[in-house]
Chain A
Amino acid sequence: MKNRLFKILRLIITLSVVGLAFFLGLKLWNNYMNSSWTRDGRVRAEVVMIAPDVSGLVASVNVVDNQFVKKGDLLFQIDKVRFEHALAEAKTLAQIRKAEHEMKQNQYKRRVGLSDEVMSEENRNDAKLEVAIAKAKYEEAAIQIETAELNLERSSVKAPSDGWVSNLLLRKGDYVQTGESHMAMIKKDSFWIYGYFEENKLSLLHINDKAQMRMLGTKYIIQGHIESLASGISDRDNVTDQRLLANVNPTFTWVRLAQRIPVRIHIDSVPKGFVLAAGMTCSVSIIQKEDKKSDFLNLR
């Protein structure tokens, strides 16, 4: 009898420890899968791709790599000579048109004064219209001057906002085409963090929830809050072909991994002494508001 009781006790001790292990394991799994954190966070920044508005040879590059520039500072200068010539040409043309206009005006004044025997009605009308044509042509030339001035002005490429020049590859003597990007500029105060959260965690996140970003390999913690959640990512299994038809991937994996959806986090404060650079890695944990968290626990 005593031996039997002993056996049952042995069983109970073992099974209770196993049961506890099972319960804790389940809880850890649940917390791991369903708490709002990700190790996949990236620092991002707005990058302006600076392209010249006019083509030409680069006469000078006025910045060095990684330099901080203020809005309106000269970044690089495209050779001006051609644009100065164009301006001079436009001005000369305007002078010609102006003279022509005066000539036609004088002609008209004279013709209006003449009697019908000398000057036909048609000729008088023509003279009147020729004045209008000459006037319009003069105005056209005036606008050409403005365009030439604009081109001349745009040959100096200036910083569109405060920021840092990054990865400067442009050199004096390069030929740049209109609209071709030649310089990257990281805008000041435009840094934000993208946390890539698994899709199943997305409903745990709310706009304005506090976020803590721990930067890779450092003790620094950046504070922030959720600014917005991405409304969509691309479907990897459905790419359109050249004729816009669906190209559905026929292989379907047994084990499906949660996809990650970018969550934009606004940076509230950066610890002193920490240098923030776009592209840095961090792990993001979202601090859920207490009431929401308890709701969530109750539901489980």
Chain B
Amino acid sequence: MPLDITLYGIQMPTLLPIFIIVAILQIAIDGIITDTGIYRHVWHPGLFKMALFVCFFTLACLTIYH
């Protein structure tokens, strides 16, 4: 992936749009996980959600800075 992205003439690091996309994705994933009831098998749902978000975000970002 490229280092930076230009949207309507504004250049920004690709990290920023990735963050927003992953955040939206996270909402969807969160909904699915809540439905399946996996959170009942998790110690701290908040911590788990946060860690999951970090995993997705870093995996996406590692394709830029490899």
Interface residues of A (CB under 8 A from B): 9-11, 13-15, 17-18, 20-22, 24-25, 27-28, 31-32, 35, 37, 39, 214, 216-218, 281, 283, 285
Contact = CB atoms under 8 A, between A and B. Distances in A.
A35 B65 contact: yes
Nearest to B38: A13
Contact of A25 (B3, B11, B52, B58): B58
Given A21-B52, A31-B66, A37-B3, 20 more contacts: A10-B43, A13-B42, A14-B43, A14-B44, A14-B47, A17-B51, A17-B52, A18-B47, A18-B51, A21-B58, A24-B54, A24-B55, A31-B65, A39-B3, A39-B13, A214-B2, A216-B6, A281-B11, A283-B3, A285-B3
B4 interface: yes
A13 B61 CA distance: 24
Nearest to A6: B41
Interface of B: 2-4, 6, 9, 11, 13, 41-44, 47-48, 50-52, 54-55, 58-59, 61-62, 65-66
- If over half of A's interface residues share one DSSP class (helix, strand or loop), that class is named, otherwise mixed; here it is helix
Contacts, number: 72
Contacts of B4: 39, 214, 283
Nearest to A18: B51
A51 to B, nearest CB: 37
Contact of A24 (B42, B43, B58, B66): B58
Contacts of B52: 17, 21
